Amino acid sequence: MVWHEYFAEVIRVVDGDTLILDVDLGFRMRTTQSFRLLGINCPEPRGESVDYGKACSAFVEETLSKPYGGYYGLKIHTYKNPDSFGRWLASVSIETGQFRHRDLVKEILIPEGWGVEWDGKGKNPTPWMEWDEYPNPGWGVVT
């Protein structure tokens, strides 16, 4: 898979797994694009999961809008082609300084129960519709 690495700033959180980012391309060039977080599916802020989707979106917005353990910015890895909605697929890391970072999907959203792993193939998984609580930390974690 071909990927590129950039620094970015959040313009808007569309939902738990979609962000509008202002991306620093280098050489004093920037672009604003829509990005789909790679490796996760989160509830939509409309339809059957509206309450869960709004809660997830708010959590992502809060996480990305305040200092998160010495927050310095976002680093994104984008992949070659956009999805069918024109969004670029990306992994997002929260940079915390001194070469430390936290992967937004793998270290925050999934472990804290805001979404589930998804490879982007087939029907979107929506297990939260059967959870007793949302978010459901530890979902799918073997103890």
In whole angstroms, give the CA distance from residue 35 to residue 2.
Answer: 16
**Beta strands at 88-97 and 29-37: parallel, antiparallel or unpaired:** parallel
Residue 69 has pLDDT above 50, yes or no: no
What's residue 139's pLDDT?
66
Q: What percent of the chain shows pLDDT beyond 90?
A: 67
Contact status, residue 52 vs residue 60, Cβ threshold 8 Å: no
**What tokens appear for 116 in the block?**
């589930």
CATH topology of domain 3-129: OB fold (Dihydrolipoamide Acetyltransferase, E2P) (2.40.50)
pLDDT tens-digit map of 108-121: 999 999 999 999 88
User: Considering the entire predicted model, what is its pTM?
Assistant: 0.88
Instruction: Over range 85-105, report the average pLDDT.
Output: 85
What's residue 65's pLDDT?
79
What SS3 class is residue 1? coil
Q: Where are the beta strands (DSSP E) in the chain?
A: 3-15, 18-26, 29-37, 40-41, 73-82, 88-97, 100-103, 116-117
Residue 1 has pLDDT above 90, yes or no: no
In whole angstroms, give the CA distance from residue 82 to residue 87.
Answer: 5
What band does 83 get if pLDDT is binned at 50, 70 and 90? confident
Contact status, residue 91 vs residue 17, Cβ threshold 8 Å: no
Using the structure block, give the residue that is written with the tokens 């007793």. 132
What's residue 68's pLDDT?
47
What band does 80 get if pLDDT is binned at 50, 70 and 90? confident
Domain ranges of the chain: 3-129
